[in-house]
Amino acid sequence: MAWEIRGKVSDRTTKLMSDLGIIHCTDISREMPAVDSDIMYTRLFGHGEHNLYSDSARLKVYERSGTFPKVTKAAGLASLKIVLEEDIVFLATKSELIEDQGWNVFDLTEKEHVHARLLLENLPNGKYSSVEEVLEDLQ
């Protein structure tokens, strides 16, 4: 049995799931299961409010033009800022930023889409308390 819990999973619920062998179903692009299991059941919704319909529309644009539409209305660090501001949590170390945000795609240039990891790996080690601090260290 798998249980997809919406919202925070309490310690009591985690214990119940563990005791009864219930698999915690999550979207692993957002969170890992609260209960260890030999079986993983996941649903992939993707980042933010994106869904199958918007992904399908992006694919149609690609099929017609050979290029994907822009991720944001900006490019470079301005695009990265838009993407990071969606759900970033601070205080965060460089390694936490890479782990939590590195998979995000942003517009490096008008035609080049890359993962945030590409730039975040250039950050000096340390703790960051805002997107502005991150961007300042990337300039």
Distances (CA, A) of 91 to 28, 103, 104: 22, 19, 19
Domain extent listing, the chain: 70-138
Q: What is the DSSP string of 69-102?
A: PPSSSS-THHHHHHHHHTT--SSEEHHHHHHHHT
Q: Which residue has the higher pLDDT, 43 or 95?
A: 95
Q: 1-39, pLDDT tens digit by residue?
A: 999 888 789 999 999 999 999 999 987 777 788 998 888
pLDDT confidence band for 45 (50 / 70 / 90): low
